[in-house]
């Protein structure tokens, strides 16, 4: 066997997800029941049911993404009048008042980033299921970037929490979070979980099977 094509899976090496110990297991040993000799955690050659679990989380996030952008994210009460705003209407308001940087941050973090994360993860899953060997290195880098950037969408939730807490202390105006805030937080958390259960090593499996 060519040493350049020797992989950890072929060498029966598995990495512990808890303590990162790299252990060698005999091929005769049932891999389904393999445990780390140091901490006792279950170890696997690949994350169990990674594709199915990631698809389920992506679909759930896509469902929550719709009400997150349709329902109001804030209710502003001022002098007895109540005004509701969605994420889009909030972006439009900041644009009309000349606050382009804030509008750009909200639009990017609340709309573009979650949508791109769903599209990128879907693309990666489809490419894996089609056993594509197209540029696995670039696809792996794309996943790493998506995983790192996706969590910054929580900035909007943190900002909304601070604004609500501050303006509830006011006398002339108060702000309350709308139902869209819950859906948006769900989208962010679920997409983070989807990136967590996704196994990028599956991207390389198709290429390695072609080289055998």
Higher pLDDT, 44 or 119: 119
Residue 102 has pLDDT above 90, yes or no: no
Q: Where are the beta strands (DSSP E) in the chain?
A: 13-15, 22-24, 74-78, 81-85, 173-177
**28-38 pLDDT per residue, tens:** 555 667 888 88
**Which residue(s) pair with 24 in the sheet?**
13
CB 158 within 8 A of CB 185: no
**115-132 pLDDT per residue, tens:** 999 999 999 999 999 988
| Residue among 163, 208, 206, 153 nearest 184 (CA) | 153
**140-198 pLDDT per residue, tens:** 999 999 988 877 767 667 666 666 665 555 556 777 888 998 999 899 999 999 999 99
CB 88 within 8 A of CB 73: no
Contacts of 68 (CB under 8 A, 6+ apart): 87, 180, 183, 184, 186, 187
């Amino acid at each position: 066997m060519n040493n350049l094509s020797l992989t950890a899976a072929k060498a029966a090496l598995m990495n512990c997800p808890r303590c990162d110990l790299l252990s060698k297991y005999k091929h005769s040993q049932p891999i389904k029941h393999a445990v780390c000799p140091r901490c006792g955690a279950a170890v696997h050659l690949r994350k169990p049911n990674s594709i199915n679990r990631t698809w389920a989380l992506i679909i759930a996030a896509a469902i929550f993404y719709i009400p997150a952008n349709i329902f109001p994210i804030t209710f502003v009460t001022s002098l007895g009048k109540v005004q509701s705003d969605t994420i889009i209407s909030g972006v439009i308001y900041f644009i009309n008042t000349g606050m382009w940087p804030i509008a750009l941050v909200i639009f990017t973090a609340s709309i573009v980033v979650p949508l791109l994360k769903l599209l990128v993860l879907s693309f990666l899953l489809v490419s894996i299921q089609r056993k594509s060997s197209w540029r696995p290195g670039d696809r792996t880098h794309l996943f790493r970037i998506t995983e790192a950037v996706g969590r910054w969408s929580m900035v909007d939730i943190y900002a909304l929490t601070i604004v609500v807490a501050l303006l509830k202390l006011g006398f002339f105006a108060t702000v309350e979070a709308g139902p869209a805030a819950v859906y948006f937080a769900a989208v962010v958390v679920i997409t983070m979980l989807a990136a967590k259960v996704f196994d990028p090593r599956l991207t390389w499996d198709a290429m390695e099977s072609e080289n055998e």
